[in-house]
């Protein structure tokens, strides 16, 4: 419910006798500490007046149809028409379809992008959208009820031991990478991260919070009395290593459980989405006396890519050593070292250099000292693989410069930089084919012009995420990487040595045939792996 842009709304509600002036003051005081919430939603949340009278007045003021949406108002199987994930993103609920008209509730009708997104997706199904407005909390309640297929096995009302076990086991079944236990004012919210997205899965009564915290600390081997941040591990589940982090917030202690499957198979690099080009693979990774850096923000699959490269290079005649924090997958034939509180990357790397390695994997370059010793290792006959946090492959050069690494060392040692993002794969069981819209085609053609490339669009279609039983109603299942690879050839090394800007380096890379992330992303859309909505989330293309 958007009223923030219409400040007189409070005055109008007072004039109509819906609320009193002092109640508006109460709502405005609340809004100061909750600035993202709209005044109408706050009045509803604080129960300052009758909900029916409030929603009716809001409809008259904004000139929109209204309703007090509840789960019982949903008359259709929603994910047969539009994915729950799309509805969550746009704060909307489809609740009825009749005579080719789809009735949809929004919490913010002034968010034209959200309204137009839902309208277009329904139009592609041959449905005309009939919009209504309701309160955001109503939207959230209904969406949570529609997401029941994620949570159907949770035992929230059982004793605390069974409840925590149920939450963890269900997360494993649903392929969650993380579980969030989040204390709030009147409840504890539980969320799963599945394929990079967070989903609400349960609410635990506030009175159970002390027992919940006690149980999580007990099975994580944490100190019960301490409320400061702690790290622990859960080893109760044979197939998983579970890392646990706790942190105090204003409503208690929040816990995040990271689920790592033991002895998970390393996927081939082509399966991850890396270009299926043997020549590019050889130029990128089959090196000596050099460093390869995989760069991306946190959570974008850098470590998985490193494992795939190592798997590609792993042969009996090669000595490979990894230095990781933690060791996520154990690979036969490798010497894997795990960093703990008593050791550092730098100390371990210095020792490893005396162990006659051919290839060294260093989990991450975080500071100048680590960068310097990685460069030293690359200059003394070793091949080093590592990661870094940057937005693209060219910006690795900027980051190394800012760490104090000389242009000479970068140019003489770094052979390849790789950047990547993870986007969700369309669920094969429910993705719905359609033609590209004119706007989508115009955008693709603008990318062709900008990067001097050409996509084969002849006869190609795109797909909408719909949602089904297999994908828990979200329309996506697992993820695929989009990649860019910068090979530092002689011309690029010369530009680095001359301290040229990354703009000049990027221009030269494009002349060499470099494919930026966006180009690879669009190719994966054309190939049917994902859609432009997913690319937009990671690269902000619109």
Mean pLDDT per 10-residue section of the chain, whose length is 542 residues: 54 88 87 83 86 88 88 82 84 92 91 89 90 90 66 67 93 93 93 88 91 95 90 91 94 95 81 88 84 94 92 90 85 87 83 92 92 93 94 96 96 96 93 91 95 94 84 87 96 97 95 95 97 91 73
User: Residue 276, class by beta-carbon neighbours within 10 Å (0-12 exposed, 13-18 middle, 19+ buried)?
Assistant: exposed
| Token output for 296 | 């991306």
pLDDT at residue 168 in the model: 95
**Cβ(107)–Cβ(41) below 8 Å:** yes
pLDDT for position 148: 47
Q: What pLDDT, on the 0 to 100 scale, is given for residue 4?
A: 40
3-class DSSP state of 405: coil
Helix H or strand E segment including 249: strand 240-249
Percent helix, strand and coil across the chain, each to the nearest 5: 40, 25, 40
Which string of b and e fits 233-248 if b means at least 16 CB within 10 Å? bbeebeebbbbbbbee
Joined together, the tokens standing for residue 412 give 């003489």
| Complete domains list, the chain, with CATH | 9-144 (3.30.300.160), 147-261 (3.30.450.90), 278-539 (3.40.50.300)
Instruction: Report the alpha-carbon angle 78-79-85, nearest 5.
Output: 110
| Inter-CA distances, 427 with 83, 440, 478, Å | 11, 21, 8
Question: Who contacts 467 (Cβ-Cβ below 8 Å, separation ≥6)?
Answer: 78, 79, 82, 83, 84, 85, 427, 430, 473, 474, 475
DSSP strand pairing (178-183 vs 432-434): unpaired
What does the alpha-carbon distance between residue 362 and residue 136 come to, in Å, rounded to a whole number? 46
- pLDDT of amino acid 155: 65
Q: What whole-number distance in Å separates Cα of residue 110 and Cα of residue 63?
A: 12
The pLDDT, as a whole number, for residue 507 is 95
């Amino acid at each position: 419910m958007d009223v923030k842009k219409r400040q007189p709304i409070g005055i109008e509600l007072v004039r109509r006798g819906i609320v009193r002036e002092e109640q508006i003051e109460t709502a405005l005081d609340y809004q100061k500490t909750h600035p993202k919430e709209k005044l109408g939603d706050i009045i509803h949340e604080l129960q300052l007046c009758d909900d029916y009278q409030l929603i009716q007045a809001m409809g008259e003021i904004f000139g929109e149809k209204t309703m007090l949406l509840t789960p019982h108002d949903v008359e259709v199987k929603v994910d047969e028409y539009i994915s729950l994930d799309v509805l969550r993103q746009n704060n909307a609920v489809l609740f009825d379809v009749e005579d080719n008209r789809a009735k949809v509730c929004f919490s913010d009708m002034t968010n034209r992008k959200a309204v137009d997104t839902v309208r277009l997706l329904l139009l592609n199904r041959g449905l005309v959208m009939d919009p209504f407005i309701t309160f955001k909390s109503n939207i959230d309640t209904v969406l949570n009820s529609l997401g029941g297929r994620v949570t159907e096995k949770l035992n929230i009302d059982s004793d605390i031991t069974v409840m925590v076990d149920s939450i963890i086991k269900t997360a494993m079944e649903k392929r969650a990478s993380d579980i969030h236990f989040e204390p709030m004012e009147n409840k504890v919210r539980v969320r799963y991260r599945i394929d990079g997205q967070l989903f609400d899965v349960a609410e635990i009564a506030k009175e159970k919070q002390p027992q919940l915290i006690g149980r999580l600390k007990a099975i994580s081997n944490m100190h019960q009395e301490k409320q400061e941040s702690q790290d622990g591990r859960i080893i109760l589940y044979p197939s998983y290593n579970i890392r646990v982090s706790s942190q105090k917030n204003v409503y208690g202690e929040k816990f995040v459980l990271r689920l790592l499957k033991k002895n998970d198979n390393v996927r081939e690099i082509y399966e991850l989405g890396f270009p299926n080009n043997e020549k590019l693979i050889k130029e990128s990774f089959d090196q000596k006396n050099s460093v390869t850096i995989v760069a991306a923000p946190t959570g974008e699959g850098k470590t998985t890519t490193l494992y795939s490269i190592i798997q590609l290079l792993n042969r009996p005649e090669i000595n490979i050593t990894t230095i990781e924090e933690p060791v996520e997958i154990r690979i036969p034939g490798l010497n894997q070292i795990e960093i703990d509180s008593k050791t550092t990357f730098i100390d371990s790397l210095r020792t490893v250099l005396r162990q006659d390695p051919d290839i060294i994997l260093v989990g991450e370059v975080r500071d100048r000292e680590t960068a310097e010793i990685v460069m030293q290792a690359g200059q003394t006959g070793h091949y080093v693989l590592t990661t870094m946090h940057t937005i693209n492959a060219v910006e690795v050069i900027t980051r190394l410069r800012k760490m104090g690494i000389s242009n000479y060392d970068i140019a003489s040692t770094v052979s390849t930089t790789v950047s990547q993002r993870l986007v969700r794969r369309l669920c094969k069981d429910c993705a719905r084919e359609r033609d590209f819209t004119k706007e989508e085609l115009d955008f693709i053609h603008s990318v062709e012009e900008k990067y001097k490339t050409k996509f084969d669009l002849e006869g190609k279609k795109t797909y909408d995420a719909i949602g089904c039983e297999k994908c828990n109603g979200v329309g996506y299942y697992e993820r695929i990487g989009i990649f860019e690879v910068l090979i530092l050839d002689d011309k690029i090394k010369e530009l680095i040595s001359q301290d040229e800007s990354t703009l000049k380096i990027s221009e030269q890379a494009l002349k060499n045939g470099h494919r930026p992330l966006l180009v690879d992303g669009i190719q994966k859309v054309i190939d049917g792996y994902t859609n432009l909505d997913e690319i937009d989330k990671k690269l902000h293309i619109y």
